[in-house]
A and B are shown apart, each in its own frame.
Chain A
Amino acid sequence: PVTPTLDCGSSVHSSLVGVDTRLSSECVALGLQRLSSDIRNTVGNIPMEWYKDFPHIGYNLDGKKIYKPIRNKDELDDFLDKMENPEYWRTVHDKQTGSDVVLSDDQVELVNRLQRGQFGDVNFNECEPMVEFFSSDVMIHPVTNRPADKRSFIPSLTEKEKVSKLVHAIKMGWIKPRRVEDDGRGRYYNLWASEDSSILARHKMHLPAPKIPLPGHHESYNPPPEYLFTDEERALWEQQDPADRKLPFVPRKYSSLRQVPAFSQFIHERFERCLDLYLCPRQRKMRVNVNPEDLIPQLPKPKDLQPFPTTRSLVYRGHSGLVRSISVSPSGQWLASGSDDGSVRFWEVCSSRCMKTVQVGGAVKSVAWNPNPSVCLLAVALDSVVLILSPSLADKQVILSSERLLSAQQEGEEPAEGNGSVVWSEAEGEELNQGLRLKIQHPKAVHQVVWHAKGDYLASVMPDNTSHLQVYIHQLSRRRSQNPFSRNKGLVQCISFHPIRPYFFVATQRSIRIYNLVKQEMTKKLQTNSKWISSMAVHPGGDHVICGSYDCKLSWFDLDLSTKPYKMLRHHKKAVRGVAYHRLYPLFASASDDGSVIVCHGTVYNDLLQNPLIVPVKVLRGHVMTHDLGVLDVTFHPTQPWVFSSGADATICLFT
């Protein structure tokens, strides 16, 4: 047997049976052929271009150089050879020897077969049945003859290690046996088979989630047309924040069911619900159904509280500027009014006739009729002067007595200079004819002037935040002035005398102070709880005070009760400008910038245990709003249940 070398380089054992002998013989033939041709050159299988630059191309068996044959054939010779030599096509250049070899017929045939991808041997049959030599039959000769290893007889250590690890893991419960697949058949059973009420005790704080509200007509795919949005509503809906929208969607109408598309927010809504269920803090809210009628307090009927003014019966026209202040004479026959047009007018109450006009040359801030019925005097505050007028609108007796009062001091001593800043002077000439009698020159602008009930004293206010010279009390009979306060306690808004006792009320911006004029000390300080007091009035009994403020409030103080307001009335829409008590009837009125005068019934009981009864009885409207100002002052008729109001529309109204 031969051992040929195959291309793959693997050796075939000689002991193999059934080796194809024809194949081997072929190989041998080829090999011999190659050997025989190659025997002369010993360089081996190397690229022959390595010898390109040498004259030789290798060495023969004896170690002598083999020289390249002298090739003198050029391209022309080659071409001629190609044309003439019939063997040219089978002539091959042997690079190793440098000689040309003419192939034999057999060799040409072999090349052709190889080119066609056939076996070199003509007689080889590639479709011969396979001979299985790894069969189930036990052969007498083994495939390998190597003796078995020792490790094939003893148990493996690594395996043991692994197994023991697994066993340990199973023992420790780290590895669990394969779970039996649950087929889900018995997943559901009668869970509530035994309903015992023992577990019912979910603690009492449990609040079940409210259900989702049910859809209304809006949500229909084909709603009634009135439920669809108009263009404005749609625009509004789009502008609004999603949290503020009344509906979370836009109602749509589809003419048939097949046109209804999917609702894009469906998953969102469900998700929101989920979030609400587990994330939203819950609180139990007791919603009480309140009947709004029950909230309205039960008050006595206004009808039962008559008399009170109900209708506008007279309008006093003549002023050209807004009428800041009005005052009624103690007899109730005359009405004085001071206006921004620089005039003071005297009207007859019953006929609304203007009896007299006095040009005082400046916007009149305040007018006040002397409350003493035996004299007929009017105090007028304008700029920094307080004028005393004697309008001579009474019978001779009264006029005389008032003249006497004014001139009483002249006959006596010289006017005592209280503190120099206030100058008293007599009116002269033309002014005297108009009724002007006295001028009291103040250092600053005077805002308000009030009389004491006796009619001899009058007080004036000069609001000023910086000094203590804000209030003066003048005595008419002695032409004396004095400043009762030595310290500034805030911006004084208005003042008032107590009707009976020697008390003096001073309203600063937020509180009212009550001073005892005899003892010269403060007795009380009332907290009004309002931002800015505008006006104040004292009850004729002297135990109650009402006070209006620019923040629309009217507060009633019961001086016996507390220093805090007994009642706060917020019935005005705008700043309260003036308040007034009636002298005889249990009435009080408030005037406001909203153009209304509200008359309230305020009964004061003598019994200390019973609180005053306050009932609004009438809203009176009669003034036209001008420059955002409505009614500026209000005052009652001294004897009748009538109320006068002066407005920014330059009129004065009488309500009876």
Chain B
Amino acid sequence: MGGLQKKKFERGSATNYITRNRARKKLQLSLPDFRRLCILKGIYPHEPKHKKKVNKGSTAPRTFYLLKDIRFLLHEPIVGKFREYKIFVRKLKKAYGKTEWSAVERLRENKPTYKLDHIIKERYPTFIDALRDIDDALCMCFLFSTFARTGKCHVQTIQLCRRLTVEWMNYVIASRSLRKVFLSIKGIYYQAEVMGQLITWVVPYQFSHDHPVDVDYRVMATFTELYTTLLGFVSFRLYSSLNLVYPPKLDSNGESEPKEESEDDYAMNSESYLEKLSALSASLARVVSSADEEEAQLDQFPSEGEDMEKMEAREKELKQQEAQKKLFEGLKFYLNREVPRESLAFVIRCFGGQVSWDKSVCIGSTYDVTDETITHQIIDRPSVGKQYINRYYIQPQWLYDCVNAKILLPVEDYFLGVTLPPHLSPFVEEKEGDYVPPEKLKMMALQRGEKPGNEQEEDEEEEEEEGEQEEEEEQEEDDNGDEEDDEEEVAEEKNLKKMEEQRSQGKSLHVKVTPGKLKVENKARLEQEEKAEEKRLAIMMMKKKEKYLYDKIMFGKKRKVREVRTLPLR
């Protein structure tokens, strides 16, 4: 007699979620508009914990959004803008149809636009939030800035992306915050530390793109729209934090002024300015001129024990970082025309080196190939005609490896025409038990300040590793130990059988007493075996669920060990 019966799916998780189609209907938006809105506002589907409950008992595959998210979209001013745009398109079509060209022109001039400022502010309430999420924005902008100016998207977008990426690179140079570089087969990965956040982005190699047909560029363009806005605001903030002028201006009284004469080659002033900026060879103008940067000294706090150790470690790390920032200071580089100019110039300038290139390659070269003070010439061809004696001719990988190793590596391995040592990823941090390539060990030895000649230690390490492996093997052997014993027994039995047969046939036995062998009982081994067996028996008693989990974990572990063991054997 207890009131009304509760209806199903009217409370609980079923009411917290909404399917995509229903959300679309609720917002009264077409699918493309809904998609655009989701991208801009950062709304994504959620996977409910109990899908069947949320799906009201059905198991049909559906995507679910949080109802809160959709309610939050209801009041978005940009939805109105979408509608306006739709109306604009309709009017424009009509005007075209009626061949009313003045109307077309008028409509075109009043094309509705929208700003994403409030969305950025809403999605990233603090600046650090924005910095944390800037990886994708950078990757996308760097990709779009390499697109050709025809076809796939608006020219303005490409130009804006180019401008923003150049601004970003200039900031990284000015703040010297680049940490790691990696030449992969996909592109060049950079990692910078900006305001304590590690930011990684990838830049494709400088080739024209083979545009795939199965990629929806509208989605990418929507993302780019958001990302350019985000990146612009972030750049503004970053520039102002370094007292740099935004939009960036070249330092007029800088020592590395681009040559004036080449300016005539460029038709438009504005164009040449961006080009000069993107040459990355000149420093930027500051709001407060010639501000002496005070090195942030770590304050000493009275502390003891572990804190002390931690402090020391931190101090050491900071010192190392400072040293890395000045890695190329005092070095003068010259880039040959076949090397990737932008990437190398960026890396060299990030670590305080001077860089120049042939005048005909790009605007902004500061000195000639004939300059006697050049210390390194970056070259990527098998041989070169005229060589200057007082400089190294090295391949570009040297620079990247130096940056990752945080020290100047010996140049001998990177000379002209020499087979290069492998280029390792700086992002891999080997844990215990992982395979460490020998080149990395060598580099670590160099970092510790050892001479590359003594490889004994390495060998020892390797031996240690081998030792471990052997132990593991032994363990496995233990597992098979019983079988081996059986085999021995079988052999013995065979012997016995033979003898028996001989006896039954009535032949005289070769009675011979051989001196018995003393079986040395390896106590440690016995104990180990016993333990292994105990463990095996205990595993038998595991519950089904736990056994499954255990098997899975062990499978993963074993595979890892196997990989580590097989890798160096190749």
Distance, CA A617 to CA B534, complexed state (A):
8
Q: In the bound complex, do residue B240 and residue A190 qualify as a contact, i.e. CB atoms below 8 Å apart?
A: yes
- Which candidate, B276-284, B463-471, B505-513, B535-543, is the interface stretch facing chain A? B535-543
Q: Which residues of A contact B422 (CB under 8 A)?
A: 217, 220, 222-225
Q: In the bound complex, do residue B120 and residue A222 qualify as a contact, i.e. CB atoms below 8 Å apart?
A: no
Q: Tell whether B106 is near chain A: CB-to-CB under 8 Å.
A: yes
Q: In the bound complex, do residue A222 and residue B568 qualify as a contact, i.e. CB atoms below 8 Å apart?
A: no
Output the least CB separation between B495 and chain A (Å).
14
Q: In the bound complex, do residue A615 and residue B537 qualify as a contact, i.e. CB atoms below 8 Å apart?
A: yes
Q: In the bound complex, do residue A266 and residue B186 qualify as a contact, i.e. CB atoms below 8 Å apart?
A: yes
Distance, CA A147 to CA B12, complexed state (A):
90
Output the least CB separation between A115 and chain B (Å).
50
Q: In the bound complex, do residue A280 and residue B340 qualify as a contact, i.e. CB atoms below 8 Å apart?
A: no
- Which candidate, A271-279, A438-446, A511-519, is the interface stretch facing chain B? A271-279
Interface 1/0 per residue, B533-569 and A, CB below 8 Å: 1111111111010110110011001000000000111
Q: How many residues of A contact B (CB 8 A)?
A: 93
B46, B182, B189, B237: the one contacting A192 at CB < 8 Å is: B237
A200, A255, A619: the one contacting B537 at CB < 8 Å is: A619
Distance, CA A516 to CA B87, complexed state (A):
88
Q: Tell whether A244 is near chain B: CB-to-CB under 8 Å.
A: no
Q: Which residues of A contact B125 (CB under 8 A)?
A: 195-197, 199-200, 202
Q: Tell whether B319 is near chain A: CB-to-CB under 8 Å.
A: no
Distance, CA A211 to CA B136, complexed state (A):
8
Q: In the bound complex, do residue A220 and residue B424 qualify as a contact, i.e. CB atoms below 8 Å apart?
A: yes
Q: Which residues of B contact A299 (CB under 8 A)?
A: 537-538, 541
Q: In the bound complex, do residue A226 and residue B570 qualify as a contact, i.e. CB atoms below 8 Å apart?
A: yes
Q: In the bound complex, do residue B66 and residue A258 qualify as a contact, i.e. CB atoms below 8 Å apart?
A: no
Q: In the bound complex, do residue A222 and residue B423 qualify as a contact, i.e. CB atoms below 8 Å apart?
A: yes
B44, B135, B534: the one contacting A301 at CB < 8 Å is: B534
Q: In the bound complex, do residue A205 and residue B184 qualify as a contact, i.e. CB atoms below 8 Å apart?
A: no
Q: Which residues of A contact B35 (CB under 8 A)?
A: 278
Output the least CB separation between A421 and chain B (Å).
45
Q: In the bound complex, do residue B541 and residue A220 qualify as a contact, i.e. CB atoms below 8 Å apart?
A: no
Q: In the bound complex, do residue B209 and residue A266 qualify as a contact, i.e. CB atoms below 8 Å apart?
A: yes
Q: Which residues of A contact B427 (CB under 8 A)?
A: 214-216
A175, A262, A271, A616: the one contacting B209 at CB < 8 Å is: A262
Q: Which residues of B contact A278 (CB under 8 A)?
A: 35, 38-39, 43-44, 219
- Which candidate, A11-19, A150-158, A289-297, A358-366, is the interface stretch facing chain B? A289-297
Q: Tell whether B397 is near chain A: CB-to-CB under 8 Å.
A: yes
Q: In the bound complex, do residue A215 and residue B184 qualify as a contact, i.e. CB atoms below 8 Å apart?
A: yes
Output the least CB separation between B403 and chain A (Å).
14
Q: Tell whether B205 is near chain A: CB-to-CB under 8 Å.
A: yes
Q: In the bound complex, do residue B420 and residue A188 qualify as a contact, i.e. CB atoms below 8 Å apart?
A: no
Interface centre among B35, B209, B537, B553 (most CB of A within 10 A): B537
Q: Tell whether B482 is near chain A: CB-to-CB under 8 Å.
A: yes
Q: Which residues of B contact A281 (CB under 8 A)?
A: 44-47, 63-64
Distance, CA A283 to CA B237, complexed state (A):
33
Q: Which residues of A contact B236 (CB under 8 A)?
A: 188-191
Instruction: Classify the interface of chain A: helix, strand, loop or mixed.
Output: loop
Output the least CB separation between A443 and chain B (Å).
43
Q: Which residues of A contact B233 (CB under 8 A)?
A: 188-189, 191-192
Could you tell me which residues of chain B, from 106 to 162, have a CB within 8 Å of some CB in chain A? Answer: 106, 109-110, 117, 120-122, 125-127, 130, 132-133, 135-136, 139-140, 143
Q: Tell whether B338 is near chain A: CB-to-CB under 8 Å.
A: yes
Distance, CA A350 to CA B396, complexed state (A):
83
Q: Tell whether A302 is near chain B: CB-to-CB under 8 Å.
A: yes
Q: In the bound complex, do residue B139 and residue A270 qualify as a contact, i.e. CB atoms below 8 Å apart?
A: yes
Q: Tell whether A257 is near chain B: CB-to-CB under 8 Å.
A: yes
Q: In the bound complex, do residue B121 and residue A191 qualify as a contact, i.e. CB atoms below 8 Å apart?
A: yes
Interface 1/0 per residue, A228-243 and B, CB below 8 Å: 1010000000000000
Q: Tell whether B483 is near chain A: CB-to-CB under 8 Å.
A: yes
Distance, CA A356 to CA B340, complexed state (A):
94
Distance, CA A299 to CA B533, complexed state (A):
13
Q: A266-B143, A278-B38, A569-B540 given as contacts; is B120 within 8 A of A191 (CB)?
A: yes
Q: Which residues of A contact B437 (CB under 8 A)?
A: 217, 224, 226-227
Q: In the bound complex, do residue B570 and residue A296 qualify as a contact, i.e. CB atoms below 8 Å apart?
A: no
Q: Which residues of A contact B489 (CB under 8 A)?
A: 312
Q: Tell whether A212 is near chain B: CB-to-CB under 8 Å.
A: yes
Output the least CB separation between A209 and chain B (Å).
8
Q: How many residues of B contact A (CB 8 A)?
A: 106
Distance, CA A598 to CA B539, complexed state (A):
14
CB-CB nearest in chain A for B224: A274
Interface centre among A264, A279, A280, A617 (most CB of B within 10 A): A279
- Which candidate, B21-29, B210-218, B291-299, B454-462, is the interface stretch facing chain A? B210-218
Q: In the bound complex, do residue B211 and residue A220 qualify as a contact, i.e. CB atoms below 8 Å apart?
A: no
Q: A188-B246, A267-B211 given as contacts; is B425 within 8 A of A258 (CB)?
A: no
Q: A188-B232, A297-B542, A622-B486 given as contacts; is B428 within 8 A of A270 (CB)?
A: no
Output the least CB separation between A624 and chain B (Å).
9
Q: In the bound complex, do residue A282 and residue B237 qualify as a contact, i.e. CB atoms below 8 Å apart?
A: no
Q: A222-B422, A255-B419, A299-B538 given as contacts; is B397 within 8 A of A192 (CB)?
A: no
B39, B215, B425: the one contacting A216 at CB < 8 Å is: B425
A175, A283, A569: the one contacting B46 at CB < 8 Å is: A283
Q: Which residues of A contact B237 (CB under 8 A)?
A: 190-192
Q: Tell whether B82 is near chain A: CB-to-CB under 8 Å.
A: no
Q: Which residues of B contact A621 (CB under 8 A)?
A: 482-483, 486
Q: In the bound complex, do residue B110 and residue A200 qualify as a contact, i.e. CB atoms below 8 Å apart?
A: no
Could you tell me which residues of chain A, from 295 to 325, have a CB within 8 Å of some CB in chain B? Answer: 295-299, 301-303, 312, 315
Q: Which residues of A contact B46 (CB under 8 A)?
A: 205, 207, 281-283
Q: Tell whether B220 is near chain A: CB-to-CB under 8 Å.
A: yes
Distance, CA A367 to CA B121, complexed state (A):
87
Q: Which residues of B contact A268 (CB under 8 A)?
A: 212, 215
Interface 1/0 per residue, B33-63 and A, CB below 8 Å: 0010011000111110100000000000001
Q: In the bound complex, do residue A263 and residue B186 qualify as a contact, i.e. CB atoms below 8 Å apart?
A: yes
CB-CB nearest in chain A for B48: A283
Q: In the bound complex, do residue B428 and residue A216 qualify as a contact, i.e. CB atoms below 8 Å apart?
A: yes
Q: A261-B207, A292-B553 given as contacts; is B232 within 8 A of A273 (CB)?
A: no
CB-CB nearest in chain A for B180: A214
Q: Tell whether B395 is near chain A: CB-to-CB under 8 Å.
A: yes
Q: Which residues of B contact A179 (CB under 8 A)?
A: 109-110
Output the least CB separation between B210 and chain A (Å).
6
Q: Which residues of A contact B273 (CB under 8 A)?
A: none
Q: Tell whether B525 is near chain A: CB-to-CB under 8 Å.
A: no
Q: Which residues of B contact A215 (CB under 8 A)?
A: 182, 184, 186, 189, 425, 427
Could you tell me which residues of chain B, from 185 to 230, have a CB within 8 Å of some CB in chain A? Answer: 185-187, 189, 200, 204-205, 207-212, 215-216, 219-220, 223
Distance, CA A205 to CA B535, complexed state (A):
43
Q: Tell whether B326 is near chain A: CB-to-CB under 8 Å.
A: no
Q: A297-B538, A619-B537, A621-B486 given as contacts; is B44 within 8 A of A282 (CB)?
A: yes
With A188-B232, A192-B237 already in contact, 18 other A-B pairs whose C-beta atoms are closer than 8 Å = A190-B236, A191-B121, A205-B46, A211-B200, A220-B422, A221-B185, A223-B422, A223-B423, A224-B437, A258-B380, A265-B186, A267-B212, A274-B140, A274-B219, A278-B43, A282-B45, A292-B550, A570-B544
Q: Which A-B residue pairs are the 3 nearest by beta carbons?
A: A262-B207, A214-B427, A283-B47
| 6 examples of A-B residue contacts, CB within 8 angstroms | A188-B232, A258-B380, A261-B205, A292-B557, A297-B538, A619-B536
Task: Report which A residues bind B (CB closer than 8 A).
Answer: 175-176, 178-179, 187-192, 195-197, 199-200, 202-203, 205, 207-209, 211-212, 214-217, 219-228, 230, 249, 251-252, 254-258, 260-271, 273-275, 277-283, 290, 292, 295-299, 301-303, 312, 315, 568-571, 598, 614-619, 621-622
